[in-house]
Amino acid sequence: MQRRQLLKWAGALTLLAHPGLARYARAAELPAEVAGMRLPRTPLALAAAGFARTSCPDYLFNHCMRTFLFGALLLKRQHRDYRQEDAFIGAALHDLGLLPAFETPKGSFEVDGADAAERWVRQNHGSGSQADRIWHAVELHDGKWALTLRHGPEAMLVALGAGTDVYGPDPGDLDPRELDEVVAAFPRLKFKQQFTALLVAHCERKPASQHGTWLESLCREHAPHATPDNAVEKEIAAAAFAE
């Protein structure tokens, strides 16, 4: 039996052993390859894509898929290897924390999303180390670059891919044909307007949850009284010491 057939049978047996994976995998509907980059076909990767598709509005799901593809293309140019399944799952689930179904009362969307992604991986029989890598890839996807770099290529891929899709690529980073192929496979669907509205709604629901994060300035604008100025100065002054 050829290696490809063995892998196919192994994947099918995994799905049969875990019906939840099969249910989500059937919802994935992914192309095999886009812009020369193969999308992973492991049972867990397909199930993550299916879970993202059923959990996210279409424009957000497409953003998650573009995040993986743009990040993969950029790491290819840097000649960096990465765990494809882990990076893909991190990209697929990286914005769960912006959705009310996955948010906590006070957590930032980065931490809420990371916790939801880690929980999903563990519930679907991923390893502890895999769940930890995916947690960091989600939590750090819009964080400080040095820290993201420290946590490995999977976190880098999600951060680079998400940043490229939200802000646009830096000049010369990607071939225009690659950009066109990725957007054709996963259309933007008025992403700028819809994603901005999603962020604003998050800030209005949880205005104090984004201190020190990428969204702090947006939350200040849309809920100014909930995010006081000079928060650090006030916290230092309130410390339980005489001086």
Query: What's the rounded Cα separation, in Å, for the pair 50 and 89?
Result: 11
Is it the case that residue 2 has pLDDT exceeding 60?
A: no
Query: What's the rounded Cα separation, in Å, for the pair 230 and 5?
Result: 61
Assess if residue 125 is contained within a domain: yes
Assess if residue 210 is contained within a domain: no
- Going by the DSSP 8-state scheme, the letter that residue 102 receives in this structure is G
Q: What angle do CA 78, 84, 88 make, to 5 degrees?
A: 105
Assess if residue 185 is contained within a domain: yes
**38-71: pLDDT as tens digits:** 999 999 999 999 999 999 999 999 999 999 999 9
If one counts the domains in the chain, the total is 1
Across 87-114, average pLDDT: 96
Assess if residue 194 is contained within a domain: no
Assess if residue 213 is contained within a domain: no
- Domain extent at residue 161: 43-189
Rg (C-alpha) for the chain, rounded Å, is: 19
Query: What's the rounded Cα separation, in Å, for the pair 126 and 45?
Result: 10
User: What is the per-residue pLDDT for 1?
Assistant: 47
Q: Which residues contact 139 (CB under 8 A, 6 or more apart)?
A: 110, 111, 113, 114
Assess if residue 104 is contained within a domain: yes
Instruction: Of 88-92, 195-199, 234-238, give the lowest mean pLDDT range.
Output: 234-238
Assess if residue 37 is contained within a domain: no
Question: Rounded to two decimals, what is the model's pTM?
Answer: 0.85
Assess if residue 195 is contained within a domain: no
Query: What's the rounded Cα separation, in Å, for the pair 167 and 130?
Result: 29
